[in-house]
Amino acid sequence: MRMKTAFDGVPLVAQAAIDTPIGPMTALATAQGLAGLWFDAQAHHPGDLDAPVDPDDAHIAAARAWLDAYWAGDDPSPIHVPLDLHGTVFQRAVWRALCDIAPGHTCTYGEVAAQVGHGAVPRATGTAIGRNPVGVIVPCHRVIGASGSLTGYAGGLHRKERLLQHEGALLV
């Protein structure tokens, strides 16, 4: 599913840039919650968004506060940011499973597939993980290959490595 298609017909209420230590991100909100959080120029970034720029939107402010706490070394819970994730039923199940991976821990694509169940296979699970619309808060960066390799990350492997180092899941 293309990201733009996921937002077709969805009333978008705000967008804003959020600076992070590993690059700027674009946040996107609906009235129900945070619908997107992408690093600039990452794979599957939806491009120009049809939403007004409003850095004071409550959902964007919650995402900014979460990211600030995360980078300060706290362990903020994703439940502190209301999410409004748009994708297929399977994608949303995978993205919910990602939220169960604790900071400082990793799991494999196969382990996420097993958690999702219903015959999910690692390859399809990996595709859904790669389409995660809310980077960092929905922690797709914590998923690694079966061999322990840092395979794939839409935001760039250098960012995945930095996020895992920050969380203590990867030695410098």
107 noted as active-site residue = no
89-166 CATH, one of 1.10.10.10, 3.40.50.920, 1.10.3720.10, 3.40.50.1100: 1.10.10.10
Residues 40-85 have pLDDT tens digits of: 989 888 888 889 999 999 999 999 999 999 999 998 877 789 999 9
Average pLDDT, the chain: 91
This prediction has a pTM of 0.92
What is the rounded CA–CA span in Å between residue 166 and residue 103? 10
Q: How confident is the model at residue 17 (pLDDT cuts 50, 70, 90)?
A: very high
Of 63, 93, 140, 143, which one is the catalytic site residue? Answer: 140
Does domain 3-80 correspond to CATH entry 1.20.1250.20?
no
What would the mean pLDDT of 113-117 be, rounded to a whole number?
92
What is the rounded CA–CA span in Å between residue 80 and residue 83? 9
CATH 3.30.160.70 in the chain, residue ranges:
3-80
What would the mean pLDDT of 119-126 be, rounded to a whole number?
85
Residues 98-113 have pLDDT tens digits of: 999 999 999 999 999 9
What's the confidence (pLDDT) of residue 59?
A: 98
What's the confidence (pLDDT) of residue 1?
A: 44
Instruction: State both tokens at 86.
Output: 């748009």
Which residues are CB-contacts of 133 (< 8 A; sequence separation ≥ 6)? 3, 6, 35, 36, 37, 38, 44, 85, 86, 87, 95
